[in-house]
Amino acid sequence: MIAAITRAITVAVLILLATQVEAQQRGAYRAPRFPGTQTPDLNGIWQAVNSANWDIEPHVATPSAFPALLGAIGAEPAGQGVVEGGKIPYQPWAEKKKKENLEKRFSHPTTRELNDTTGDPEAKCYLPGVPRATYIGLPFQIIQTARQVLLSYEFASATRMVYLDRKPTAPADSWMGWSIGSWDGDTLVVDVSALNDKTWFDRAGNFHSDALHVVERYTPLSPYHLMYEATIEDSKVFTRPWKISMPLYRRMEPNIQPLEFKCVEFSEEFLYGHLVDKPSK
Amino acid sequence: MRHRFLARMSPLPVVAALLLSAQGPAAAQQAAPGSTQKTAAPAPARFVVPRTAWGDPDLEGVYTFATLTPFQRPAAQAGKDVLTEEEQKTLEEQLKKKLQENIVTNEHFSYNAIWFSSDEGRPTGRTSILIDPEDGRLPPLTERAQQLRAEMQAHAATKRIGKDQLVDSWEDLSIYNRCIGRPMPRVTQEYNQGAQILQTPGYVTIFYESMHDVRVIPVDNRPHLDSAIRQWNGDSRGHWEADTLVVDWTNFSDKQKSDGSTPFGGFPQGNLHVTERFRKVNATTIDYLVTVEDPTIWTRPFTFDLPWRGDDPTYRGPDDLFEYACHEGNYRMVENSITAAKAVRKAQAGKK
């Protein structure tokens, strides 16, 4: 009798230990499931907290472009960068083009041709593209259902739809690209193609061509964190694929909701000011 | 005023309730042995709104709110709120013919009829989208609104030379032409009238193709934003009343005014209060019933009823809603408008 009880206890303890070991091996946080599905629920309002929008490469703090006007406000904070290995592997011509982008980032686009080739698209309130939309400094909301994910960004009310249940073909290139999603365990993998050549990675002039292909991974780390990784491929501009990564933080204010940052009206004087003889106001 | 409207609408749920309660006794009669009474012909099956996995009415889908029915009732149809089947058929044929003629004769315009042809919707069978006031016409303006309108018309007149409406600055363009937004609530517009509804626990999200506007509507009873926060697209709060999503919509910006392209646009929207009712009435259609109030602009509220159709070949699925990059392609339009205004003014000065 006693032997039987001892055996039962031993078996119970072994089962318990095995379960714990398995949980430890699995290690990772298991996100709650979206109702009615077996897939993780990434719904929420998320935001990157870093200075990647200033420069995705490592950088020191720098005064604003207009210190006489703005003082210390608008100065660029230092950052360790989000590029794996630190440097973007540019082809030699592209390295030069990046420097030129930086120098001319605030030149007024006095012709349409100049507008197409010069200046930070953020200053013009143009759709920010991928991956910049993720870390442009404003929150975004993941609206995930069983069949698709709508990414709704505060910046310029930019959006993109991630198709989960099928793989429609992109009808044309676009600013925010064409996103096909799939699940790798608890990670949402998004293949982004059909991006145009007009967006930048940051305010430092880091750029790409229309051959850009981005593969993003959104991995839940806790109820409050996602790890964001993006592999960047563009054989016209870079010597090899490269990767950025950063955590995204859930906005925890109980009343949080994305507000409008419809910046078109903030960009018009910059874009069209040269066309009117005197300021309109 | 509101009561009158509510009284008008209330028969619907009452009829539904009667149909439901009628089923009980009818079934009992069938089961009762010896009953000689025949049951009446079965009532048309009432559409049962599907539920989401967490139990909310399921409104998800891709829709278009395009329709060829005018917002206000044309004078020729005064006193008549619905068309007969024959009139509807004639109207559809006329519209089709007009469209074909337009495609043939209008090919030199950048936005010709081909642009619109797949996105024009269908007539509803009613003579106007507006259902209250009962005459299908917008209520009279308040004195303030009349004054505002007169001021706007006087301002527009200062910008007009001959038939040219001059654009001296981007600020002379409408909010829509500047690619900032479309007046809300959305009614029939020229094109890109697609919208998608997505639902997640605690939220209903509406994604409008035009201007890539997203309204994430909390359905968790939280209060509205602080009244200091005014937005182009306002602030929406939803709740469920049986199968109907009711959205209370406030906190609009006074800046949302310079676009007279909607039938009730052209006024500052700071005092606007909109109540939307979304109800799925069959497998593919949402009945979108909207009451608009602003006692500083209209002498009484008005209500319109616009179907959101999910069976339109233009919008079969989410990938038919394409990126609406408007501002990004607007450089030449603004440049040409301002340059043209300068040329007209120069020519005018030369004539004097």
Q: Are residues A17 and A101 in the same domain?
A: no
A205 inside domain: yes
The CA distance from A162 to the nearest CA of chain B, in Å, is: 10
- Side chain identity at A35, as an amino acid letter? P
In a domain, A228, yes or no: yes
Residue of A nearest to B220 (CA): A255
What tokens appear for B123 in the block? 């007539």
* A256's tokens: 């949080």
- Do the domain assignments include residue A280? no
Query: Quick one: A7 and A49 in the same domain?
Result: no
Domain count, chain A: 2
> What are the chain B neighbours of A259 within 8 Å (beta carbons)?
225, 229, 231
Which residues 51-80 of A have a C-beta within 8 angstroms of B?
Answer: none
Burial letters B268-301, b for 16+ CB under 10 A, else e: bbbebbbbbbbbbeeeebbbbbbbbbbeebbebb
Residues of B in contact with A150 (CB under 8 A): 196, 198, 205, 207, 214
- Do A174 and A224 lie in one domain? The reply is yes
- Residue B93: the pLDDT is 86
List, for residues A8-61, the tens digit of each pLDDT value: 665 555 554 454 444 444 458 999 999 999 999 999 999 999 999 999 999 999
Query: Are A250 and A134 within one domain?
Result: yes
Residue A281 domain flag: no
- What percentage of chain A exceeds 70 in pLDDT? 89
**Residue B304 CB neighbour total at 10 angstroms:** 22
Strands (E), chain B: 61-64, 130-132, 160-161, 164-165, 194-200, 203-208, 213-218, 235-241, 244-250, 273-280, 285-293, 302-309
Same domain assignment for residues A24 and A143: no
Residue A159, beta-bridge partner list:
A152
Instruction: Answer yes or no: do B213 and A275 touch at CB < 8 A.
Output: no
A to B CB pairs, distance under 8 Å = 121
Q: Give the Å distances, CA to CA, from B332 to A111, A120, B75, B345.
A: 9, 18, 40, 20
Read out DSSP for B76-102? GGTT--B--HHHHHHHHHHHHHHHHHH
Selected residues 165-184 of chain A with any CB under 8 Å from a CB in chain B: 168, 171-172, 174-176
What integer pLDDT is reported at residue B91 of this predicted model? 84
Residue B200 is nearest to which of A126, A127, A145, comparing CB atoms? A145
Same domain for A22 and A87? no
ipTM of the complex: 0.89
The model's pTM: 0.87
Residue with token string 């008008």: B8
Q: In this complex, do A152 and B170 lie within 8 Å of one another by their Cβ atoms?
A: no
| Inside any domain, residue A72 | no
For B317, residues 6+ apart whose C-beta sits below 8 A from its C-beta are A168, B62
Question: Are A173 and A56 in the same domain?
Answer: yes
* The pLDDT of residue A187 is above 70: yes
Determine the distance from the C-alpha atom of residue B182 to the mean position of all C-alpha atoms in its chain, rounded to a whole number: 11
Query: Which residue is closest to A263 within chain B, CA to CA?
Result: B180
What is the mean pLDDT of the segment spanning B255-275? 83
Are A153 and A190 in the same domain? yes
Pair A140, A152: CB distance under 8 Å: yes
Q: Taking every pair of C-alpha atoms in chain B, what is the biggest distance, in angstroms?
A: 100
Does residue A39 form part of some domain? no
Q: Between chains, do A260 and B232 touch, taking CB under 8 Å as contact? A: yes
A37 touches chain B (CB under 8 A): yes
Is the same domain home to A172 and A240? yes
Shortest Cα distance, chain A CAs vs residue B160, angstroms: 17
User: Do residues A151 and A203 share a domain?
Assistant: yes
Condensed to tens digits (0 to 9), the pLDDT of residues A199-252 reads 999 999 999 999 999 999 999 999 999 999 999 999 999 999 999 999 999 999
Domain that holds residue A242: 44-64+77-275
Q: Do A14 and A113 share a domain, yes or no?
A: no
The pLDDT of residue B261 is 65
Do A54 and A182 belong to one domain?
A: yes
Residue A69 domain flag: no
CB-based contact B323 A174, cutoff 8 Å: yes
Contacts of B110 (CB under 8 A, 6+ apart): none
Which of A53, A56, A74 has its CA nearest to residue A64? A74
Residue in chain B lying closest to A269 (CA): B170
Task: Indicate whether A96 belongs to any domain.
Answer: yes
How many CB atoms are located within 10 Å of the residue A161 CB?
24
Beta-carbon separation of B200 and A198 below 8 A: no
pLDDT at A7: 66
Q: Chain B residues with CB inside 8 Å of A148's CB?
A: 198, 318
Chain B contact for A27, CB < 8 A? no
Q: Are B243 and B262 in contact (CB under 8 A)?
A: no
Of the pLDDT bands very low, low, confident and very high (cuts 50, 70, 90), residue B123 is confident
| Residue A73 banded pLDDT, cuts 50, 70, 90 | very high
B194 band by pLDDT with thresholds 50, 70 and 90: very high
Q: How does DSSP classify residue A202?
A: S
Q: Residue A127: which residues within 8 A CB-CB, separation 6 or more?
A: A121, A133, A156, A158, A175, A176, A199, B323, B325, B328
Q: Hey, are the CB atoms on A262 and B232 less than 8 Å from each other?
A: yes
Average pLDDT score over residue span B220-249? 97
